[in-house]
Amino acid sequence: MTDDAPELRASDADRERVAEVLQDALAEGRLDMEEFEERLDATYKARTYGELAPLTRDLPVGAVAVPKVDMVKKSGGSDVSWAERIVGGEGSSTWGVAVMSEFQRKGRWTAPKRFDCVAFWGGGTIDLREADFADREIVINCVAIMGGVQIVVPPGVEVVVRGIGIMGSFDHREEGVAGDPGAPRVIVTGFAFWGGVGVERKRTREQRLELREERRREKLARREQRRELRESIRDGQYETHREMLEEHRNAWRHTHDPHDPHGRRAARERDED
């Protein structure tokens, strides 16, 4: 990591790499136990690269302890098979209208090559998170007049926004995010007058719960690893100290025989050696 991005959020992998550097430093004698525990606690509490960098700056590998950040957003899950979701055909629904009312297209449905919708003093929702796609590239054409349309896409889908707003707006926040290989592209076009067309990228509720559970398990595993590491280090230090203490006791007993308080026997043994 370099100092030009101190505010970037650190990942769990970044914190684990710093912890490995600290463990090596402890094993080499560069850190004592107290310093190691302080820095290790700070490592797992760190939220940004700026908080991680000082923890290894005075160590030989401090300059490479934290990896560079991948600035490209990743898909929410590696189990998505886009080839299976691009099914061809005409689509199960090709239009939606909301005049002082609302419409929804969500759940399991097939998004067509072109979907046209109108919202006049009303609102519409087009949710593609669980949808199949009739083609690799689909167009959603929205007309929002004193109303609004919300488009929800799953992670990994590329979004292109080409709409025009007059006293209205088209949401460009998700535009420019690279899509997954083989994932569909969603092109949003149309016209907004005193209205708006929003685009957001969200996981399904099941995916969010699964991700939350996965992070919980990883957190528990890291906590157990830290506990085992501390115990193994303390046990190792205890053994070392016990052996040193035993050597000192043996030496003391050898030179301080209670039946030979003046140490004559030890002196004779040294002379004989």
**Domain-by-domain residue ranges, the chain?**
1-71, 85-204
Predicted pLDDT of residue 77: 42
Scan for tokens 């107290």, then name that residue. Answer: 34
Are 185 and 167 in contact by the 8 Å Cβ rule? The answer is no
What's this model's pTM, rounded to 2 decimal places? 0.52
- 150: nearest Cα among 132, 114, 124, 168: 124
Most confident option among 55-64, 90-99, 203-212, 251-260:
90-99
Instruction: Give mean pLDDT, residues 142-150.
Output: 94
Task: Give the span between the Cα atoms of 203 and 74, in whole angstroms.
Answer: 12
* pLDDT bracket for residue 97 (50, 70, 90): very high
Indicate whether 113 pLDDT > 80. Answer: yes
- The Cβ of residue 179 has, within 10 Å, a number of other Cβ atoms equal to 18
> Helix 33-45 to helix 205-255 angle, to the nearest 10 degrees?
180
The pLDDT value given to residue 64: 41
The mean predicted confidence, pLDDT, of the chain is 78
- Smallest CA-to-CA distance from 120 within 141, 146, 89 is with 146
For residue 235, the model assigns a pLDDT of 63
Pair 168, 216: CB distance under 8 Å: no
Assigned token pair, 174: 């998700």
Which structure tokens are listed for 271? Answer: 């002379």
d(CA 133, CA 158): 13
Tens digit of each residue's pLDDT (9 = 90 or more) over 1-40: 444 456 677 877 788 888 888 888 887 778 888 888 888 8
Considering only 39-48, 68-77, 136-145, 264-273, which range has the smallest mean pLDDT?
Answer: 68-77
Mind listing the pLDDT tens digit for each residue in 116-130? 999 999 999 999 999
